[in-house]
A and B are shown apart, each in its own frame.
Chain A
Amino acid sequence: MDFAKIRKSNSFSVSIIIVFMVVVMCFFKRNYLSSDNISALLKVLAVTTLVGVSQMISIASGGMNVSIGSVGAMAAILSGLLMQNLKVPVLLSILIGIGIGVLSGIINGLLIYRNGGVGVASFLTTLATNSVFIGIIYMITTGHGVSKIPDAFVAIGSSKIGPVPTSVLIVGVLITLVYFMFTYTSLGRQILAFGANPKAAELYGISRFKTILSVNIIASILAAIAGMLVVMRVGTAQPDIGSDWMLQSFAAPLIGGTRQAGGKVVVFGVILGVLVLTIIENALVHLGVDVYWTELINGVVIIVIMAFDRLRSIKN
């Protein structure tokens, strides 16, 4: 990759903005880059990145998945309940949590396939399954969190390996795997081809069924892991986990350069997108912005960032 190409990329302009935001924040707040704040940022970053990557995979295949949050919550609640009530070992619970992801991925995948496959169908179907999943969560928990989570489980989230929080490391590994999948494996390329032009992909031998199923399983596994990471971070498994993931999950990959219509992903761009979102959130707290202004500023900053990216791409 030569520099000229990098300079033209969307990731580059988003990076500039991130650096700019950090510099401004450092100017106002000397301790902005304190290790405390960096670790606070990283912890949020980990979960949101996973959520964004999960959505990115769906977008890549030309679909949308609005049930990410409820899948995450289901995995979190069920693994939590198993550990709390049945004293199931931590590792097994995690595996079962991932299993929930696989299962809901299969459900989503089958229904989406049955309902036609891409775009519309995936949005609607996951809208429906999301409602069902949330219903299930609330029927199981009656709205109560699972608070007796074993320390060993929570420790995974709060521990560090070297200077890096374990959760960040887990997400780092996962996102690298996803990058690898999209760049080097034929499954990844198949997903992209299907996303860009489902008809052509099918005419030339890509199975609609397999693609949709694998996309949804992978996306749901990531969502399930994200849900459990939240539990590790928060210390309890609350039924409201994932309730605010939907918009972030779309915003992060799209800001990061993923093509909304499918077929093109910038895997590490998701991290940039998440950085933008979390830095805004973090900065608003640091600057002590009045509660009534946070929403407004949030909106304005996102528009400014996207406008900047746009201006640069016009110039190029």
Chain B
Amino acid sequence: MKRIKQLLQADLSSVIIPIITIFGLLAITSEGFLSSYNMFSIFQSVPIFVIVGLAQMIVLSLGQMNLAVGSIGVLSSVVFGIAMQNLGMPTSVSILLACIAGVLQGLIQGVMVTKSGINPFIISLALLSLYKGLALVITKGQPFSELNAGFSAFGNLKIVGLFPATIFIAALVSGIMYVLIRYRKLGKRLLACGANGVAAIYSGVNYDKTVIIGHAISGGLCAIAAILQVSRFGSVQLSIGDDWMLTSFVVPVLGGTLLSGGKVNVIGPFLGGFLMVLINNAIVLWGVSSYATNAAVGLILLLAYEVDRMRKKMMNNQAKSAVEKEA
């Protein structure tokens, strides 16, 4: 009982508890769940969720939203495709170019948000169309499928027969983001700008610069997610990113990021992404109609809220009774 209480008090309990529950239930009820094929597949789906979630999280921490995550992803991957297929660049250069493209798109968004005075939501909305439109105009909708074979293989590479190589990339990116947010000045500044922009300025933070950098990082992360997606699909696809927007919000939020800015949980998206994938997996394994996928994700999100409330209530009660005891 005490253990459970302790667990409930942990910051991430609202995501860890559902993960453990679903994982346990699946392991008991479904024999295929622990098969290496299934585990590999689960781990293979996680990285993109996580990185897209991180891309959104960093903008959320600024108290803003990036609706263009998917479009930035698709335009970056088009740059990647052009570099690799049309210009015959080596893989590393192509990846670099794609990331630069992503950062640039984020940068443009950041500059417009800070300098133009136009409503940030509308900017993001317009850029969503603009970036995607640009990708379409450049390619005329044609995919790039003659990619470097080694690169495509990477997306499906198995390590120890269980882990896809991509999950290590996601872990690495999460780690870097963790350090960035928690241990670098930039992270503190980002959170400060998200919590109270004016106070941040009065604390000597360059608000505009910080916001721009935040958006740029978000753009870069979108590009990384896109590259991982390309390597999994083995081709650059213009529908990449079409399904990212909802995911990008759900993942960090499941992972405990406040949408109002100023507070984030960097490890959260990793767990949030994992939880999403587990739910999807459970729905297929339990033979529930895939129509229920949506409903299940929604219910889990609501459940996360409940767990969080329970946790807070318990901690408050504890603190209160501690005071009473003292008296």
Where the two chains meet, the residues of A that have a C-beta atom closer than 8 Å to any C-beta of B are 111, 114-115, 119-120, 123-125, 127-136, 138-139, 142-143, 247, 250-251, 254-255, 260, 292-300, 302-303, 306-307, 309-310, 314
The answer to whether A135 touches B127 (Cβ under 8 A) is no
The answer to whether B125 touches A302 (Cβ under 8 A) is yes
The answer to whether A299 touches B129 (Cβ under 8 A) is yes
Contact of A115 among B133, B137, B250, B305 (CB under 8 A): B305
A38 to B249, CA, bound (A): 38
A134 to B123, CA, bound (A): 28
The answer to whether B294 touches A299 (Cβ under 8 A) is no
Of B7-15, B113-121, B197-205, the one touching chain A: B113-121
Where the two chains meet, the residues of B that have a C-beta atom closer than 8 Å to any C-beta of A are 67, 112, 116-119, 121-123, 125-134, 136-137, 140-141, 246, 249-250, 253, 258-260, 289, 291-299, 301-302, 305, 309
Contact of B291 among A133, A142, A255, A306 (CB under 8 A): A142
The answer to whether B130 touches A260 (Cβ under 8 A) is no
The answer to whether B137 touches A124 (Cβ under 8 A) is no
Contact of B126 among A114, A143, A306, A309 (CB under 8 A): A306
Extra contacts, 20 of them, besides A131-B298, A299-B132, A306-B122 (Cβ < 8 A), are A120-B258, A127-B250, A128-B297, A132-B302, A135-B294, A139-B291, A250-B121, A250-B125, A251-B122, A260-B119, A260-B121, A292-B136, A296-B129, A298-B129, A299-B127, A299-B133, A300-B130, A303-B123, A303-B126, A310-B117
| Total A-B contacts with CB atoms under 8 angstroms apart | 132
Chain B residues within an 8 Å CB radius of A119: 259-260
Contact of A128 among B137, B258, B302 (CB under 8 A): B302
Chain A residues within an 8 Å CB radius of B246: 127
Residue in A115, A120, A135, A300 whose Cβ sees the most chain B Cβ within 10 Å: A135
The answer to whether A131 touches B294 (Cβ under 8 A) is yes
Q: List 5 A-B contacts (CB under 8 A).
A: A129-B298, A139-B295, A251-B122, A299-B127, A300-B126
Chain A at the B interface: SS class: helix
Contact of A310 among B118, B132, B134 (CB under 8 A): B118
Q: Which A-chain residue is minimally distant from B126 (CB atoms)? A: A302
A251 to B118, CA, bound (A): 12
Q: 4 nearest interchain CB pairs?
A: A135-B295, A296-B133, A299-B130, A131-B298
The answer to whether A132 touches B295 (Cβ under 8 A) is yes
Residue in A124, A294, A310 whose Cβ sees the most chain B Cβ within 10 Å: A124
Chain B residues within an 8 Å CB radius of A250: 121, 125
A274 to B276, CA, bound (A): 35
Distance (Å) between the CB of A147 and the closest chain B CB? 19
Q: Decide: A247 near B125, CB < 8 A? Known: A135-B296, A297-B133.
A: yes
Q: Which A-chain residue is minimally distant from B112 (CB atoms)? A: A303
A132 to B295, CA, bound (A): 4
Chain A residues within an 8 Å CB radius of B126: 298-300, 302-303, 306
Q: Decide: A302 near B122, CB < 8 A? Known: A125-B302, A131-B297, A293-B137.
A: yes
The answer to whether A111 touches B118 (Cβ under 8 A) is no
A123 to B249, CA, bound (A): 10
The answer to whether B133 touches A298 (Cβ under 8 A) is yes
Residue in B121, B126, B140, B299 whose Cβ sees the most chain A Cβ within 10 Å: B126
Q: Decide: A131 near B125, CB < 8 A? Known: A139-B291, A297-B133.
A: no
Contact of A138 among B250, B294, B305 (CB under 8 A): B294
Contact of A295 among B136, B289, B293, B301 (CB under 8 A): B136
Chain A residues within an 8 Å CB radius of B123: 303, 306
The answer to whether A135 touches B260 (Cβ under 8 A) is no
Chain A residues within an 8 Å CB radius of B301: 124, 127-128, 131
Chain B residues within an 8 Å CB radius of A143: 291
Q: Which B-chain residue is minimally distant from A130 (CB atoms)? A: B298
Chain B residues within an 8 Å CB radius of A314: 117
The answer to whether B122 touches A134 (Cβ under 8 A) is no
Chain A residues within an 8 Å CB radius of B258: 120
Chain A residues within an 8 Å CB radius of B141: 292
The answer to whether A296 touches B134 (Cβ under 8 A) is yes
The answer to whether B119 touches A303 (Cβ under 8 A) is no
Distance (Å) between the CB of B10 and the closest chain A CB? 20
Chain B residues within an 8 Å CB radius of A120: 258-260
A1 to B297, CA, bound (A): 50
A260 to B125, CA, bound (A): 14
Chain B residues within an 8 Å CB radius of A309: 118
Q: Which B-chain residue is minimally distant from A115 (CB atoms)? A: B305
Contact of B119 among A127, A254, A294, A295 (CB under 8 A): A254
Q: Which A-chain residue is minimally distant from B295 (CB atoms)? A: A135
Chain A residues within an 8 Å CB radius of B305: 114-115, 124-125, 128
